[in-house]
Amino acid sequence: MSGLVEFLRARLDEARAREHGKRRSIPSPFDGHDVEITYSSYEGQQVIVDGHPYPAEQYFKIATEPAPDPNVIADLDAKQRLLDLHAPDSFGSTSTYVTCKECSQGYEVHEWGPEYPCVTVRLLGLSFTNHPDYDERWRP
Ligand SMILES: [Zn+2]
């Protein structure tokens, strides 16, 4: 079941980058003009204003502002903190058994806690079961 933590960190980073990439239009000199934004893998993002090409970077600087949803960012922060809290813990360099630092609290020293990744970490993975790299063995 290894790889779930790396998978989750990558998905959370992607979601954060997508959210920070969201932009909102603001009052600008382009209001009232015909603005068309296109994208092609060959030419990248193209902005056409009143039928004429316009530098895309300049357009987005003037006419939009970053607009990440603070609730989405807070949700991603909370998931990240859960992942940090439920970190793997092994029993010295010779043991291959890995448990969860948080979930193994309360166990006696000679007992082993639940195997890592714990149910909490596997539950966090449920947000990304439609991703092609999701491993069904991670499902809690
Ligand atoms: Zn745990």
Q: What is the mean pLDDT of residues 60-78?
A: 93
Question: 20 C-alpha to center of ligand 1: Å?
Answer: 29
Question: 109 C-alpha to center of ligand 1: Å?
Answer: 17
Given a cut of 90, whether residue 77 has pLDDT beyond it is yes
Question: 57 C-alpha to center of ligand 1: Å?
Answer: 44
Given a cut of 90, whether residue 42 has pLDDT beyond it is no
Q: What is the mean pLDDT of residues 31-37?
A: 93
Contact 113/103 with Cβ under 8 angstroms?
yes
Q: Out of 4-13, 73-82, 83-92, 122-131, which region has the weakest mean confidence (pLDDT)?
A: 83-92
The three-state secondary structure class of 81 is helix
Question: 69 C-alpha to center of ligand 1: Å?
Answer: 28
Q: What's residue 110's pLDDT?
A: 67
Contact 112/91 with Cβ under 8 angstroms?
yes
Q: What is the mean pLDDT of residues 43-59?
A: 91
Question: 74 C-alpha to center of ligand 1: Å?
Answer: 21
**Edge-to-edge strand list for the sheet holding 44-49:** 35-40, 44-49, 52-54
Could you give the CA distance from residue 53 to residue 140 in angstroms, rounded to a whole number?
52
